[in-house]
Amino acid sequence: MGSNALEQLRAAVRDVPDFPKKGIVFKDITPILNDPALFRASIDLFLEHCRGKKIEKIVGIDARGFLFGSAVAYELGVGFVPIRKAGKLPCKTEVAKYSLEYGEAEMEMHTDAIAAGERIVLVDDLLATGGTSGAAAALIRKAGGQLLEAQFLIELEFLHGRKQLQSTPVISFLKY
């Protein structure tokens, strides 16, 4: 992926001040999703970093991680595992609590979603404080999955979210 595509993606990200609460500057990716060429370019970024890793499943975090993760899983021909906010999955789940910049919550994953030893890549749109991705990584590891990498379209570096992922390699394409 050329630097021109990265520049176009960066230009399309819209800042929304004071959302979801005062003091937060929300990075809105809907302009990327609305543009077929930019959406394809964003998926291609994830795919470039997945190829050759013998991935067995992609895990996506509720909700925007579903958009990128399912497209990547489809293209790679591997399974997709959703990690959702508490109370959204219908079968037996494992729960992980987390904090984020505007509150606390819980994430869940079906207990049978990942088999021990499966090679996993975690995909989400944004790495901020690392609360949700750290909880997702904990759920993957608790299930016995081998978390190869965590990939994000956007990283807010000043929030140091990578620390929540401990020893997991982190890839992010647009850094702020």
Q: Is 101 an active-site residue?
A: yes
Is 48 an active-site residue?
no
Pick the catalytic residue from 10, 56, 94, 101: 101
Sequence-distant contacts of 67-76: CB under 8 A, at least 24 apart: 67/33, 67/125, 68/42, 68/43, 68/123, 68/124, 68/125, 68/153, 69/123, 69/124, 71/43, 71/46, 72/43, 72/46, 72/47, 72/121, 72/123, 75/43, 75/47, 76/47, 76/50, 76/51
Q: What are the residue numbers of the active site?
A: 64, 101
